[in-house]
Amino acid sequence: MEQPPPSFHRHVVVDLETTGLSPRQGHRIIEIGAVALEQGVVVEKFTTLVDPSVPIPARVQAIHGITDEMLEGQPTSEEALARFFAFIADSTLIAHNAAFEITFLRHEFARLKMGFPNRHVCTLEMSRRHFPRLSDHTLETVYLHLFPNADFTRQSHRALDDARMTAKIWLRMEEGKPGFI
């Protein structure tokens, strides 16, 4: 089967919130936010909280604001990840600090005995190459560098907001606007 030209390829920008930093230590995904891009336009979004059946440490709750109570009655990991798997299909995934997101997704999909062949692009790595003089390369810093006049409002460390910001960063870096070095 012939691949569509890159400009027609579906890209999915993804961000996760988790119970910690390492799936090998039993940390789990608790929120998935993603936007699908086709020809540089957002065509679909995916967002869900996930009940991983493990408690969220208080120090982690303080970062993203997601509490155990918020996860009660939400889809299980199996339900949410099956839906997300269908959403991403064979898309190229894009994430800021993709190593983190990809590690969690690979772990969860392997746990569910699902494949994970998706290629991925990391906007954190891209921004380090293109903007080596930035004081840091956090999502917020890169976003404000590329969009200095942006009305910067978002819910701190929530997956869909972070995915939308990452999509804008990736699209701006891909289009090679003047000033992009």
Contacts (Cβ under 8 Å, ≥6 apart) of 74: 48, 49, 50, 51, 80
C-alpha dihedral sign at 24, 128, 14, 93: negative
C-alpha dihedral sign at 172, 173, 178, 181: positive
Report which DSSP code applies to 25.
G
- Residue 95 near residue 145, CB atoms below 8 Å: no
Q: What order of strands is seen across the sheet that includes strand 41-49?
A: 41-49, 29-38, 11-18, 92-95, 120-122
157 carries an active-site annotation: yes
Number of H helices, E strands in the chain: 7, 5
Q: Which of 9, 107, 130, 157 is catalytic?
A: 157
For the annotated catalytic residues, the residue numbers are: 157
